[in-house]
Amino acid sequence: MYKSKPVAILKSFTKKELRLFETALHSPLFNKSQAAIQLFKLLEKAYPAFIEEKVDREKIYRGLYPKEKSFNEQALRYVMSDLTKALEAFMIWQETKAGGERFLAKAYMKRGLSKYFIKSMDLLKRNLEKAGFRDADYHLQQFELAELRYKGVQPKGEELKKTLEALLNHMDHFYVANKLKYTCEVLNYNNVFNESLLADASIYFLLDEIINKLGDVDMDTPAIKLYYQIFLTLHEPNAEEHFDGLLKLIQAYNGQFQADELYDSYIYALNYCVRKLYTGRSDYLQRMSDLYDLLLEEGVLPLNGKMSEWDYKNIVTVKLRLAAYPDEPKTDLEVRDELNKIEQFINTYQSYIPNAGRENAYTFNFANLSFSRGDLDKTITLLNQVEFTNTYYHLDTKILLVKCYYELQEIIPLFNLIDTLKAYLRRNKQASETNRRTYISFLNNVKKLTRIRLGSRKTLNEIKTEIQQSPFAGMHTNWLMSKVEELE
């Protein structure tokens, strides 16, 4: 039962939803099965972890039918089905209650109750404006209201003109905003994973016409303007004014987009910074740090009370690199203070990471912090506990291990690890081509520096020039340059 549908649904519920569902379960509108109520009570005892032994099928069956001597799988399935139907009905009710006033307006319209239909429509309009959001969904709701008014009131003359104009304008705004939004998703995916997610024709249908139109007019629709600016950062990445323009729009529209969409806008800006870092623009590290500070200060992170392990990891990594390689020289005391603040972040925000990835994220990031403090033995111990849940966890863990072996002058393990990693990168299809070449460039440079330590004839100046001029120096440039300086 651990992997059953009702358990999966209950596991996703908050405590508040669980209490609300318990009330709904006793209503004949949601459920008429007493056995389903009893099953819920048994499963509720295992909330929220639902450990497998606590929801064992036979154990649950005995709780439902204590007088039965033998286990009846079919009987249990019937009760599970009844509970699942009640859970689904409850989730439908939850989703529709938010739009209840709109459904009420439709009901008044169908019944020809014009007076109450108009009042309901006016309330919907006021609530929509009061919310203050100007995202694509705002235009969808405005379109739906205009369409309802067109069907329900059957306006004439000037009122008909205004209604149709609103209907068409909001439909266009919704379409254009979403066309840009999902085009940006595709372009960003292709950048990150080095593959073409969709054929060009499916991405660019009508896109040229939209872009040309937007380039000719002063579009003041926030949903369109924001995603057009994001599109420009992806389509013309070398024009840095597009990035500056995006940051201004994110700040200007802060209260006009819901938290998840505002978060996505920041992620596009952060991804732009990452691409710049991979081309050797180390000044974008500070810009990344500033963006993460804004995300935390504005309450965008944690998002809905949660923080992904990747945001957690990225914040720590950026802050550690800035502490290790500041633009302005810092005293040892200032660096220690910075590292202590990062440790405080690691400890404070781990509780926001979903349970499944929390321990792994904490372990990796504390290993990274330990490396910055020079505690190499602790770093290696922690890295050996990290699980490779995806390609970048694997690569970043091994890269940090490469740095440890270099610092400890463990030559044989270092060279073996470098060769293994390069073979992995050649086989792996998940890392983008830019990332793959960046990692390989880093590994080659570490090997060259190690050989110079061992007496290679290649000069430091040659390696220094290669690192400085390589388009794939990446985010480890500062560390490599510090190792060059140590050998000079």
Predicted confidence (pLDDT) per residue in 69-105, tens digit: 899 999 999 999 999 999 999 999 999 887 889 999 9
Compute the distance between CA of residue 143 and CA of residue 319 in angstroms, rounded to an integer.
45
Q: Do the domain assignments include residue 352?
A: no
Compute the distance between CA of residue 72 and CA of residue 431 in angstroms, rounded to an integer.
49
Residues 259 and 398 in one domain: no
Indicate the residue among 77, 97, 117 that finishes a domain: 97
Residues 33 and 158 in one domain: no
Name the residue range of residue 24's domain.
5-97
Residues 143 and 241 in one domain: yes
Residues 443 and 300 in one domain: no
For residue 6, the number of C-alpha atoms closer than 13 Å in the C-beta half-sphere is: 26
Indicate the residue among 305, 331, 352 that finishes a domain: 305
Q: Do the domain assignments include residue 61?
A: yes
10 Å Cβ neighbour count for 445? 21
Q: Does residue 389 contact residue 357 with C-beta atoms inside 8 Å?
A: yes
Q: Do the domain assignments include residue 138?
A: yes
pLDDT at 300: 94
pLDDT at 197: 65
Residues 197 and 280 in one domain: yes
Residues 265 and 157 in one domain: yes
What stretches of 154-230 adopt beta strand conformation (E)? none
Q: Do the domain assignments include residue 40?
A: yes
Residues 168 and 219 in one domain: yes
pLDDT at 199: 56
For residue 245, the number of C-alpha atoms closer than 13 Å in the C-beta half-sphere is: 16
Residues 56 and 136 in one domain: no
Residues 155 and 232 in one domain: yes
10 Å Cβ neighbour count for 157? 7
Residues 70 and 202 in one domain: no
pLDDT at 218: 60
* Structural domains of the chain, count: 3
Residues 23 and 69 in one domain: yes
Tell whether the torsion through CA atoms of 214, 219, 221 and 226 is positive or negative. Answer: positive
Q: Does residue 404 contact residue 379 with C-beta atoms inside 8 Å?
A: yes
- Residue 469 tokens, joined: 């001029």
10 Å Cβ neighbour count for 422? 16
| Phi/psi at 38 (5° precision) | -65, -40
Q: Do the domain assignments include residue 117?
A: no
Q: Going by C-beta distance under 8 Å and a sequence separation of 6 or more, which residues neighbour residue 122?
A: none
Q: Does residue 394 contact residue 388 with C-beta atoms inside 8 Å?
A: yes
Q: Does residue 191 contact residue 268 with C-beta atoms inside 8 Å?
A: no
- Residue 77 tokens, joined: 């399935």
Q: Do the domain assignments include residue 330?
A: no
Tens of pLDDT, residue by residue over 260-288, are 999 999 999 999 998 898 787 888 999 99
Q: Going by C-beta distance under 8 Å and a sequence separation of 6 or more, which residues neighbour residue 256?
A: 132, 133, 134, 135, 222
Q: Do the domain assignments include residue 342?
A: no
Indicate the residue among 97, 124, 155 that finishes a domain: 97
Residues 182 and 296 in one domain: yes
Closest CA to 230 of 270, 181, 195, 287: 181
Compute the distance between CA of residue 148 and CA of residue 235 in angstroms, rounded to an integer.
38
**Stretches in the chain below the pLDDT threshold 70:** 193-204, 216-218, 471-474
Q: Do the domain assignments include residue 200?
A: yes
Which letter does DSSP use for residue 28 in this model? Answer: T
Compute the distance between CA of residue 258 and CA of residue 249 in angstroms, rounded to an integer.
15
In 373-457, which ranges are continuous DSSP H helix?
376-383, 391-408, 411-427, 433-453
Compute the distance between CA of residue 405 and CA of residue 403 in angstroms, rounded to an integer.
6
